[in-house]
Amino acid sequence: MIVVAPTHPFADRQTISFSDLTAEQFVLLNEHYVQPAAFKKLAKQAHIEPKVVYQSNDLAILKSMIRENIGIGFLTEIAIHPEDHLVSIPLSDQLQPHFLISLAKRTQQIPTPLQENVVEVIQQFMKTQKKNKS
């Protein structure tokens, strides 16, 4: 997903091609995440050299920078919430990376409230995805 501020010129687009983003500045998650590898792959396929102006491991900072039109983002759908006041635009490119979420736990371990919350968020997201594909 490409993520932009509501005031960005692309905010009213239903979809966007990665090659349409040649002149854009990007704010991205850093190399501790999988998104930069997927981003580089898309850029290579589109034959563009994107301008990355900032990278961080702090999603809240990136969202704030996107809201301020400092750059646009490349994030997964699960990272954006209505209260972020951002616009997510699906990519129309045929070849897109897919992100897999795996969950493993020890059978003898009692999960913490945080772990239970993570499982609940993932399960809710997957239910939403199934409904949207139906």
Tell whether pTM > 0.85. Answer: no
Cα 59 to chain centroid distance, Å, stands at: 10
pLDDT one-digit tens code per residue, 5-53: 999 999 999 999 999 999 999 999 998 888 888 899 889 988 999 999 9
Q: How far is CA 129 from CA 31, 111, 133, in A?
A: 27, 25, 6
pLDDT one-digit tens code per residue, 77-122: 889 999 999 999 999 977 666 666 677 878 888 889 998 898 888 8
Per-residue model confidence (pLDDT) at position 58: 96
User: How far apart (Å, rounded) are the C-alpha atoms in residues 104 and 40?
Assistant: 28
